[in-house]
Structure 1
Amino acid sequence: MEHVFEWRRIFFNDLPLIFLAEVVFRTLVMFFFLVVTLRSAGKRGVKQLSIYEVVIIVALGSAAGDPMFYEDVGIVPALLVFLIVIGLYRFITWLAARNRWFEKVVEGLPVYLIEDGQFAIEKFGKEHLSQDEFFSELREQHVEHLGQVRVALLEASGEMSVFFYADNEVKPGLPILPNLYDEQFQTIPATGIYACAFCGNIEEIPAGISPCDRCGKTSWVKAINTRRIA
């Protein structure tokens, strides 16, 4: 137990203090090459990164981090990793620009989440996107209910694209404000226009229990028909 809580080992790993100066040098060199490498890769924002670009960033981070403070990791091999990774990035980008099939593989395709004011339920379930998260993104676009939305797509970049109905085309829709969406009915209290809480389907239904004609669920929310306020 004499090796437990040896403070010099914990803080310096038995290395001489002068190695801290080498750490400074290594960090400056790797930071410089990391900036140069990412700068040469393009100007896409972090949220716009594709899956393979995230892999490249992780690889560069690992290649840059180890030589900064591990004495047994040389800088030159790390720089070779940089050159290989950025070369792969350039090659993949070049190939994706010339081959539509390959572009679909590495970049992905947009996915329709809302069509004609209703959830595209056969596609929505394939994406790892919770309903609360989706509603939150729609509310950031000043959406109150799905009847205002003609189409919503989840882009390959992870961003949400929303296309709206014109004001005179807005129809009743499923409200996405929490206080309204949470007022769900299994038993309809009175005849009216309701939205299925699962798929967004709109129906005029009588009092009682009614399954949705589209998805078969029985949870309903009172539909609203307000215009969008930009």
Structure 2
Amino acid sequence: MNEYVDAAFRAVVLYFIIIISLRLLGKKDISQLALQDFVLILLISKSLYNDAGLGPGITMVLTLAIINYIMDWILFKSKKARKIIVGEPVVLIENGNVLPKALNCEKLTMDELIAGLRKQGYEKIQDVKWAILETGGEISVIGK
């Protein structure tokens, strides 16, 4: 029984350590996958290769599924939790002007910004009124 409690405890600790670590990496590194879903996939794959045995492995997977469900519920209900865990959109270009401080804060290079604009069909920064780095890592663009 003690090994099951240990497996559940390790799952909870690992879940939050990985969420915090990925949050520190920034939006552009997370891609389209929701943060908590990415963590769940990582931890489930890790728990399947754990040497602790089938019982603790199943306990860990179930604990992770429960944590993920609770986290989804919290993020759905709490704007403050969403802001802390998922983050907020960041304005990169405002009224046609690139905001270097925002690029630095998000660890985004000018080349990456320009590539993101091209993906949205804009060849020149001068054609862009607003560019926003969304919480999922994609860049939304509003033309002039």
**Common fold by TM > 0.5:** yes
Higher relative contact order (CA 8 A, sep 6+): 2
Report the AA paired with residue 72 of structure 2.
T
CA distance in 2, matches of 1:160, 1:64: 35
Structure 2, unmatched stretches of 5+, are: 1-29
Structure 1, unmatched stretches of 5+, are: 1-45, 67-71, 166-230
Q: CA deviation at 1:142?
A: 2.3
Q: CA deviation at 1:128?
A: 1.4
Please give the residue correspondences for 1:1-230 in structure 2 after superposition, counting only pairs within 5 Å.
47-66=31-50, 72-165=51-144
Larger helix proportion of the pair: 2
CA root-mean-square deviation? 1.8
1:65-95 deviations in Å (ceiling 9; x for gaps): 33xxxxx542221111111111111111111
**Secondary structure class of the residue paired with 2:44:** helix
CA distance in 1, matches of 2:127, 2:38: 34
What is the TM-score when the length of structure 2 is the normalising length?
A: 0.71
Larger radius of gyration: 1
Identity within the alignment, %: 29
CA distance in 2, matches of 1:118, 1:106: 29
Q: CA deviation at 1:161?
A: 1.0
CA distance in 2, matches of 1:111, 1:145: 20
**Secondary structure class of the residue paired with 2:141:** strand
What is the TM-score when the length of structure 1 is the normalising length?
A: 0.46
1:113-163 deviations in Å (ceiling 9; x for gaps): 111111122322201112212211212222121121111111111111111
**Secondary structure class of the residue paired with 1:108:** coil
CA distance in 1, matches of 2:37, 2:84: 13
Runs of 4+ with >6 A deviation: none
